[in-house]
Structure 1
C-alpha cells in the first residue's frame, strides 16, 4: 500500500514538472469591461500609460500605439504585452495578461490609475457583451507554469 502511494506521488510530481516544461504561460488575458468614455478621457488614459512606460523604459517597459483605425494602446514588458486598452464602443476594455503580477508587478498601480474614473460593467452586462474571462484551465496552467525568469521580468532592479 505504501509503495502505491509513493509511486502515485512520484507520478504526480513528474506531471507537475512536465507541465512546467511544456506549457508556457497562457496568453488569455484577464478582461475588464467598462462603459465607453469620451475622447478626452481616453486620451488622458493613453497619456498616463505613455508616461508610465516612458519613465520605466530602462526597466523593460514600452508603449505601443494601436493601429490608426483602432483606439487602442499597449504596455509591453520586454516585448510581451502585459496591459492592453481598447475602445470598442459602447465598451472600453482593459486586458491584463495572466501572470502580469510575476512578469511586471508595476503594471497594477497603472491599472488602478486607469480604472479609478471608469464605470465597470456588472458581471451580467459583461457576459451579455460577450467579454470572456480566462478559463479555470488557463489559471491552473499558469499556476503550474511557475515563476517568470528574472531576465524576462520588468521592474526588476539589478
Structure 2
C-alpha cells in the first residue's frame, strides 16, 4: 500500500510539473499592420517614443529600445508589456497589449497618435476590439512562472 501511495504521489508530482512547465500562456494584443517605414521615418517615431517615455517614466512606464540600430522598441509597466513596435523587413507592426488602457492610458493615447500617421498595409492584423486580459489559471502561471503580474498597475 505504501508503495502504491509513493508511486501515485510521484506520478501526480510529475503531471503537476509538466503542467507547470508546458501550460501555454501569453498576453494577447490588438495588432495593427502598416506599410514599412524608411529608416528615417522609423527613427523619427522612435525619437518621439523616447521623448514620450521621459514624460511617463515617473508613473512606472519604461522604454526599451535596444541599440540605435534596432528596428523595434517596447514600453512596459512593472514588467508587464504595454506596447510593442516593430519595423520588420516587410511591415510595420504595432501591438497594444491587453489591459494597457487600464495600466497606462497615456500609452493608449500615444498609440492612437502614432497609428493615425501610418498607412495601413492591407495585411491581416487590424483591430478586432480589445483583447481579453489573462485571468484565472493563466494569470497565476504568468505571475509565478513567467514573472509577469498582470494585476499590477502603473503609479
Q: CA deviation at 1:132?
A: 8.8
Give me the whole-angstrom Cα distance separating, in 2, the residues matched to 1:76 and 1:144: 19
The 1-side partners of 2:41 and 2:107 are apart by 20
Report deviation, 1:109: 1.0
Match of 2:119 in 1: 119
Aligned partner of 1:71 in structure 2 is 71
Contact preservation (8 Å) 1:65, 1:72:
yes
Consecutive aligned runs of 4 or more in structure 1 exceeding 3 Å deviation: 66-70, 131-134
Matched ranges for 1:135-150 at <5 A: 139=132, 142=133, 149=151
Confirm or deny: 8 A CA contact 2:30 2:127 kept in the other structure. Answer: yes
- The gaps in structure 1 that reach 5 residues or longer are 1-24
Change (3 A) 1:119 1:132: closer
Instruction: Give the alignment of 1:127-138 within 5 angstroms.
Output: 131=125
Equivalent residue for 1:91? 91
1:96-116: CA deviations, max 9, x gaps?
111111222211111022112
CA distance in 2: counterparts of 1:144 and 1:83, whole angstroms:
20
TM-superposed CA distance for 1:89, in Å, is 2.1
Aligned twin of 1:55: 55
Q: Which has the larger radius of gyration?
A: 2
CA drift of 1:29 comes to 1.7
**Are residues 1:103 and 2:86 paired?**
no
Alpha-carbon distance change, 143 to 77 in structure 1, aligned in 2, over 3 angstroms: closer
Of residues 64-73 and 37-46 in structure 1, the stretch that sits farther from structure 2 once superposed is 64-73
Structure 2 Cα separation of the partners of residues 51 and 34 of structure 1: 23
The alignment's C-alpha RMSD in Å is 3.1
Distance 1:133 1:26, change over 3 A: farther
Q: How many residues matched?
A: 119
